[in-house]
């Protein structure tokens, strides 16, 4: 297990520990269990249906070998290199160059690319982006994000419960001031941990994607092009709330949002990602901190 994977496990453990501590402070053991069951139910549905929901959200259109032979052949070849089944392939009718992968497991996966990305990138750069998305599928990052989202959602519910039930679940030994501080800070801490986990998975997808495509520098150039274009070409017809909830799925955040988005960014700094990929191109090794 590499350092990045260990960091992911460590951060996920922190999220779980935070949830248990907050549950005891705000809702007692009963509140903790209720919140977790509700969150599990919601995110279990999301896990099974999220691919269809997000594809519909972006008006993605299914394509096959006959309609887009070059793109289909590229994805098929890279999937074989990654030892993955051929994912369902979609095109998003947007000019912003971007892409994402979704699906609950490698056998039920989909890759979607925008029309803009096929025009903005050369073949090697496009291969790099598709390989990055296949890496997310190979690493089962959708499952990782679902687990983390379940716990973060449960934390948010606990915070909401605290407004309507006695803090500490009626525990006489509970400290209302401590509970109030936890009520305010815990959801923020949970979202920051969630964003940090997402960033670690992006680094790992860069590394694995570069190995699949065989050209780390092309992926680096693609990330730079996508980031620059995302600042100039917004996603049309997609609500801001939808963009925020799905931004982690793209190789570069399609939503530009100032200070808030920088504090809770689901993506590492692009310059840093590029530097690591260029180093990998030169040495064959990907640098983790």
> What pLDDT was estimated at residue 141?
87
Across the range 262-269, mean pLDDT stands at: 78
| Model pLDDT, residue 138 | 94
- Give me the count of residues in the chain: 289
**In which band, very low, low, confident or very high, does the pLDDT at 257 lie, cut at 50, 70 and 90?**
low
Task: Look at residue 145 in the predicted model and tell me its pLDDT.
Answer: 75
CA distance 257 to 266: 12
Average pLDDT over residues 162-172: 52
- Please state the rounded mean pLDDT for residues 224-235: 89
Q: Is 289 a catalytic residue?
A: no
φ and ψ at residue 222, rounded to 5 degrees: -65, -45
Distance, in Å, from the CA atom of 257 to the CA atom of 52, rounded to the nearest integer, reads: 26
| Per-residue pLDDT at 19 | 67
Q: Is residue 255 over pLDDT 80?
A: no
Alpha-carbon radius of gyration of the chain: 20
DSSP strand E in 79-218: where?
Answer: 88-92, 99-103, 109-114
- pLDDT confidence of 259, banded at 50, 70, 90? very low
- Please pick, among 61, 125, 133, 227, the residue that the annotation labels catalytic: 133
Range 76-100 average pLDDT: 96
39, pLDDT greater than 70: no
pLDDT surpasses 70 at 58: yes
Report the alpha-carbon angle 186-190-195, nearest 5.
150
* Torsion, Cα of 65, 71, 77, 81 (10° steps): -130
């Amino acid at each position: 297990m590499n350092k990045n994977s260990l960091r992911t496990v460590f951060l996920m453990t922190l999220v779980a520990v935070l949830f248990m501590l907050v549950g005891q402070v705000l809702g007692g053991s009963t509140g903790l269990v209720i919140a977790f069951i509700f969150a599990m139910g919601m995110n279990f549905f999301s896990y099974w249906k999220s691919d269809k929901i997000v594809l519909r959200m972006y008006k993605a259109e299914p394509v096959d070998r006959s309609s887009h032979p070059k793109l289909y052949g590229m994805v098929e070849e890279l999937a074989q290199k990654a030892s993955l089944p051929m994912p369902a392939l979609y095109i998003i009718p947007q000019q912003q160059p971007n892409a994402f992968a979704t699906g609950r497991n490698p056998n039920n996966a989909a890759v979607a690319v925008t029309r803009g990305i096929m025009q903005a990138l050369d073949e090697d750069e496009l291969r790099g982006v598709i390989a990055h998305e296949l890496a997310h599928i190979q690493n089962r990052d959708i499952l990782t994000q679902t687990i983390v989202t379940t716990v973060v959602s449960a934390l948010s519910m606990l915070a909401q419960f605290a407004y309507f039930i006695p803090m500490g679940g009626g525990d006489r030994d509970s400290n209302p001031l401590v509970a109030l501080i936890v009520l305010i800070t815990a959801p923020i801490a949970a979202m920051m941990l969630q964003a940090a986990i997402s960033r670690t998975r992006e680094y790992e997808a860069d590394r694995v994607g570069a190995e699949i495509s065989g050209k780390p520098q092309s992926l680096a150039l693609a990330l730079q092009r996508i980031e620059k274009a995302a600042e100039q070409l917004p996603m049309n017809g997609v609500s801001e709330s939808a963009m925020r909830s799905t931004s982690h799925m793209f190789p570069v955040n399609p939503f530009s949002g100032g200070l808030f988005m920088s504090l809770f960014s689901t993506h590492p700094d692009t310059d840093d990602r590029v530097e690591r990929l260029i180093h990998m191109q030169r040495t064959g090794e990907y640098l983790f901190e």
